[in-house]
A and B are shown apart, each in its own frame.
Chain A
Amino acid sequence: MSQARMVKLEKDILSKNNEYADANRKMFAERGVLALNLVSSPGSGKTTLLCRTIDALRGKLPIAVIEGDQQTSSDADRIRATGAPAIQVNTGKGCHLDAHMVGHAADHLDLAEGGLLLVENVGNLVCPAGFDLGEAHKVVVLSITEGEDKPLKYPDMFAAADLMLLNKTDLLPHLDFDVEACIANARKVNPRIKVLRVSARTGEGMSDWTAWIGAARAMALTGHPLAAELKGAA
């Protein structure tokens, strides 16, 4: 039996994931791909919103989708029905996508230069917050049926997101959801978070959301050769 000794590590527990995330980020930057990581609780409307987004941006830029789900592949089928390439990643017991899974899926998708990659994370407002996928932005979707206290109950997710989409605004007349209180709660955990109100059902607010995507894409393409082309097209 050898002598016990101390080993100093000072190593980040998620360092492996972060290395994969850095590799993904580099690959997205080289291809001029804007990657967005959509996070929410189950049923907030991510897949519906993605389908509607693909319809709104059809012909304007190439879009691919990675669908994270614990079991089924029905969300990827819904995306493929729109004509966009989609790949399903089943995480099994895993409650979040990690950067390694996303890197693999992105390889299979053969992302078009200058395109948009939309990642639908596993429906869960806790775990995906800590796992960087190499995305440019986390976008948290909160539907108004979930209650205005959610940003305070899941502060890590709202702190990690750059944009909050308040979805299902078509239901506002039927509920006593306080939009301003919800936004104030989100700003308590993240003073910089941007907020857009949308309805994936009626299409309300979709043009604001696609305008945000356009701006984020211009940012992602800064310094990339494709930026000139984008400018010419605008």
Chain B
Amino acid sequence: MTIRVSEAEHAQSFQKAALPLLEDAQLRKNVRHATDVIQSKRGIVVGGTPDWQDLRTAGSAIKAHTLRYLDQYLLQFEKACTAAGGQVHWAGDADDANRIIVGLVQQYGGTEVIKIKTMTSEEIGLNEALDHAGIRAHETDLAEVIVQLGGDKSSHIVAPAVHKNRSQVRQIFRERMNLPDLGDDPEELTAAARHYLREKFLRVKVGVSGANFLVAETGSVCIVESEGNGRMCLTLPNVLISIAGIEKIIPRFEDMEVFLQLLPRSATGERMNPYNSLWTGVRNGDGPQHFHVVLLDNGRTGILADPESRQTLQCIRCGACLNTCPVYRQTGGHAYGSSYSGPIGAIVTPQLLQMRQAQSLPFASTLCGACYEVCPVKINIPEVLIHLRGRVVREQKSALDPEALAMKTAAAIFTSRTRFEAAQRLGRIAQWPMVSHGWMRNLPGLLGNWTRVRDLRELPKQTFREWWKARAKTGSMPGPSTPLRAARKLAQDVNDHA
């Protein structure tokens, strides 16, 4: 089984991939601006939803329940979808899914497809597979159009072109749509895109979509979007192929009540998406006459098998965790080397790849908890990150790795008071070659990463416990002057060296 998540298996480590992005002032400004805007909109609509926490609890509970009985709900979905005239295909991995979809397009004699934004298709590299078979894929989501025409990668699971600003979009459209006089007025840009896309909507006979939700009870598929381009792809072609990870199932139609409140608020800061499309199988003479659903595993059952990180599969791909993440904010999505970026990308990508690759991703977080706070289905991302870090250490780190050695040594020190106190004394002696005027500015080894941008004060002459012991010995009362003296000295030092 070859599991593929975009290009993550060949990607550089997060910290390396981040370097050129950190240099890109334009990209960083674009990402900061866009995520700030979405976040503040989200804050306002969530603030105006009094039962928000109850909704989160409900969303989380429904998803957890579904995952518990996923096998049954998947079969129920297959049955209902088939009964309504759809056809369900099961794909074990990315190659399976690509083979099925390419086969279907060829079966209907298609040489082109129009696509609604689907991260799952990016996960499996569908466009490349189609291209390989001589089939042209046209993205129709405006942001995906920008990414595709720019020969770029998406950098956000909801807003793939979040790293581009308007004038960069104009440049791409000017060059790729052959519109040398195009202005950067939003209306002009969307008009250009509309003109470019309408022709394809009317001509291309096969549509490919993802899915936000699959309803087991009715066999329905749901997609929410903002532009209406998705609606075009869902209604105009003769053939519609929808690809969805198996975790997209929800049990009952009425569960949509919860998710259609959670998702738009979290994703775009809207109370409702402008376009909510919901369809069940095939309807004679109305919309696509051939409908296929490809249910994708690609590592998901492996995640399901791990009770510690199963909650990862509750994700509804709203992107709220990306927008709030202080790490994502610095680099945008490209540093994650995967179609899934940000906090959710950091937990889902390495797990899909079964931890063989992308091992730096669980460490691409300060565990600040902002993601958990906003997640509409209460995925405790920091907890999963810690769990995955444990797996990386257990499964991948050799005992001779410098970090592993340092950690083992530290553990030995911390398990004994005598060793701890000896280490404190040793540190004070060993630091002298590195100290200058009371500060360390150039530490060796791993700690050098600290002093590249931060100073570190020299170890104090007396540890807290030495002070405590000395105080107990002399029997002196806790002189109020002691902390004061220390604080005064600190102020003095700052003044001396600042």
A and B bind: no
Chain A interfacial positions (CB closer than 8 Å to B): none
Binding site for A on B (CB under 8 A): none
